[in-house]
Structure 1
Amino acid sequence: MSILVVGAGELGLATLSALSAHPSRGTSKLAVLLRQETATSSAPEKQEQIRKIRSFGVDIETGDFINDPAALVPIFKKYSVVIQCAGYGMAPGTQLGVTKAVLEAGVPRYFPWQFGVDYEAIGAGSSQPLFDEMLSVRALLRAQEKTAWTVVSTGLFMSYLFIPDFGVVDLENRTVRALGGWDNTVTVTNPEDIGVMVADIVFNPRDTENRVVYIGSDTISYGQLADLLDGAFGLGLKREEWKLEFLRGKLESDPENLWLKYQNIFAKGVGVSWPKEKTLNHQRGISLIDVASYVEKNKASFASKLGI
């Protein structure tokens, strides 16, 4: 088997690490596609990134998956599996361009960038236009039979719960907010856990080809999250409920605000969570880090932000 991971950001590195360490890797070739400027950069952080990639026993390919994805066809033809871990949030058309190149190359198996919420449950025309491109990628894959594909729905990256701009947990202001309501739930997954599950699917594809699979480190309500944080730090954090009507009004006043677009989607509570029992990790008995464990792991950092 020959496996190419596109991109080596947070998710790409996690996926490369999990693939390289998987007990079924055997003699499988593992490579990563980077942009030329990344591969040859003299910046310390980029050089550290390359060092880490090399430590996994990974080859490096170079190409421009953002501005010229069609030129990647000759590279893609060399691999039996392509995993797209890059370009989310880049120019419109990036994900479609990479997918078209994969199909033109006749890659046997493909994992598109779909590492997020359930775009089909949310539907077309949401407050985040990028989601419509995710639906177009799925339509393109379903319209052909040459390349087997797997969409991995992960929910929200767990760290996003604790980014103040996302609006849910603002430790410095000792505030927890509910998007839509305290009983609304959100499924979250750590990037490292996404890598673990993608690697497991690559080497054990049973019941995963040509379909959407769901994974999740945890599914939690905003009320449960607030209770968890109160218990972890012995504080009564301030609680604010941001109703959907309130968030719609904010977005109307600031229609290009990325965070407001996401807040409106999560406040609707549709397509952003699923039961743990539905996840592939649960079905395969693979243990992933839950929110309580994540808080405990980062407790010193969180306590510092709380000023305690």
Structure 2
Amino acid sequence: MTQNERTESILVLGAGELGFEVLRHLARQAQTAHGTRINVLLRPSTANSTAPDKKREIDELKEMGVEIAEGDVVTAGENELAALFAPHDTIISCIGFSAGPGTQTRITRAVLQAGVKRYVPWQFGVDYDTIGRGSAQDVFDEQLDVRDLLRSQHDTEWLIVATGMFTSFLFEPSFGVVDLESDVVHALGSWDNRVTVTTPGDIGRLTAAILFHEPRVVNETVFVAGDTISYGELADELERALRRPLSRETWSVPSLKDALNTEPDNNLLKYQAVFAAGVGVAWPKTSTFNHRQGIETTDIPTWIQRHLIK
């Protein structure tokens, strides 16, 4: 059976920054994949919201042909989730870490209980296998629990899309790498350390392309990248685009560990420490799915021009 003859019901969990982009690109793919239905699971308060911005998003989803289902993955138990998932062939989780600890494994167990044919978990990030357990960011261990659950069974196909950091997060003032108010760039670990970044729009487009790829991608971690860049190259690009010099400061691994010892619950410090270690957070763009398929993505210079140049 070719992709044009495939009948499939796809359910996306959540329509936030990433979920909306995944839905947008799945809906476009579904236009040529006859028989494919795209659905989204939203909390009842979101699905029935009268707030203008939420209502506008719901209307846009409906215009794209996305069907709305109601449910709350944060409060629902595994049995309730399994019942919501069972009618669908593919589940794509766009519910991130903000949903709280245990959510990723609970969703995964519900998917397996429901006997769903294919599952794309929330793993849109770093290479958790390479980082391993016990990293500075403790929420990463649950990502490995999810992978263990999926690899221990053979009834549900799984697909992991490794994207690196959201590109915008690299420039988020609270993250501290790029501080344009003070005209300083901080290197996490060293100026040679590299980081892979991808925009939500590109993640949505590439996830849809991977899902509909022939031959079907089964039980694989697929790496994508908008760009892979060192902190030194990032500082160079910013200076070139902004046409002014920037100060450069290094946040070393020991200094970040000391800071974490003082503030063990500081989530941003945990992320900074992981990226400073420089393990599992970057891969060559030439090794990615998008490079092999000739799909252009938003690189760092382009992002800077679009978002930082007035």
- Compute the TM-score of the two structures, normalised by the length of structure 2: 0.94
Aligned to 1:30: 38
Per-residue deviation, residues 59-101 of structure 1 (Å, max 9, x unmatched): 0001111121421212211111110001423221101111111
% identical equivalent positions:
48
Aligned to 1:60: 68
State the secondary structure of the residue aligned to 1:72.
Answer: helix
Aligned to 1:152: 161
**Deviation >6 Å, runs of 4+:** none
Aligned to 1:6: 13
Q: Is the 8 A contact 1:66 1:87 kept in 2?
A: no
Q: Does 2:116 align with 1:81? A: no
More off after superposition, 23-32 vs 115-124: 23-32
State the secondary structure of the residue aligned to 1:64.
Answer: coil
Q: Is the 8 A contact 2:121 2:160 kept in 1?
A: yes
Per-residue deviation, residues 116-159 of structure 1 (Å, max 9, x unmatched): 00111111011111100000000000011000000111000000
Q: CA deviation at 1:24?
A: 3.7
For 1:26 and 1:282, locate their aligned partners in 2 and report how far apart those are by CA, in whole Å: 28
Q: Does 2:43 align with 1:18? A: no
Aligned to 1:203: 212
For 1:69 and 1:47, locate their aligned partners in 2 and report how far apart those are by CA, in whole Å: 28
For 1:199 and 1:136, locate their aligned partners in 2 and report how far apart those are by CA, in whole Å: 25
State the secondary structure of the residue aligned to 1:89.
Answer: helix
Q: Is the 8 A contact 1:5 1:32 kept in 2?
A: yes
More off after superposition, 24-33 vs 215-224: 24-33
Q: CA deviation at 1:228?
A: 0.3
Aligned to 2:225: 216
For 1:114 and 1:205, locate their aligned partners in 2 and report how far apart those are by CA, in whole Å: 22
For 2:214 and 2:110, locate their aligned partners in 1 and report how far apart those are by CA, in whole Å: 23
For 1:292 and 1:154, locate their aligned partners in 2 and report how far apart those are by CA, in whole Å: 18
Q: Is the 8 A contact 2:211 2:217 kept in 1?
A: no
Aligned to 2:301: 292
Aligned to 1:246: 255
- The residue type paired with residue 232 of structure 1 is A
For 1:275 and 1:206, locate their aligned partners in 2 and report how far apart those are by CA, in whole Å: 24
Q: CA deviation at 1:205?
A: 5.2
Q: Is the 8 A contact 1:174 1:237 kept in 2?
A: yes
Q: CA deviation at 1:298?
A: 1.3
Q: Is the 8 A contact 1:251 1:261 kept in 2?
A: yes
Q: CA deviation at 1:170?
A: 1.0
Task: Pick one of 271, 284, 290 that aligns with 1:275.
Answer: 284
More off after superposition, 245-254 vs 48-57: 48-57
Q: CA deviation at 1:26?
A: 2.9
Aligned to 1:162: 171
RMSD of equivalent CA atoms: 1.2
Aligned to 1:191: 200
Q: Is the 8 A contact 1:24 1:203 kept in 2?
A: no
Q: CA deviation at 1:284?
A: 1.2
State the secondary structure of the residue aligned to 2:97.
Answer: coil
Q: Is the 8 A contact 1:127 1:262 kept in 2?
A: yes
For 1:4 and 1:287, locate their aligned partners in 2 and report how far apart those are by CA, in whole Å: 27
Matches within 5 A, 1:221-240: 221-240=230-249
Q: Is the 8 A contact 1:89 1:130 kept in 2?
A: no
Q: Does 2:139 align with 1:130? A: yes
- The residue type paired with residue 202 of structure 2 is D
- The residue type paired with residue 144 of structure 2 is L
For 2:294 and 2:32, locate their aligned partners in 1 and report how far apart those are by CA, in whole Å: 17
In 2 relative to 1, CA 102–205 (structure 1 residues): closer, same or farther, beyond 3 Å? farther
For 1:293 and 1:193, locate their aligned partners in 2 and report how far apart those are by CA, in whole Å: 13
Q: CA deviation at 1:209?
A: 1.1
Q: Is the 8 A contact 2:198 2:227 kept in 1?
A: yes
More off after superposition, 98-107 vs 18-27: 18-27
Stretches of structure 2 lacking an aligned partner (at least 5 in a row): 1-7
Matches within 5 A, 1:94-133: 94-133=103-142
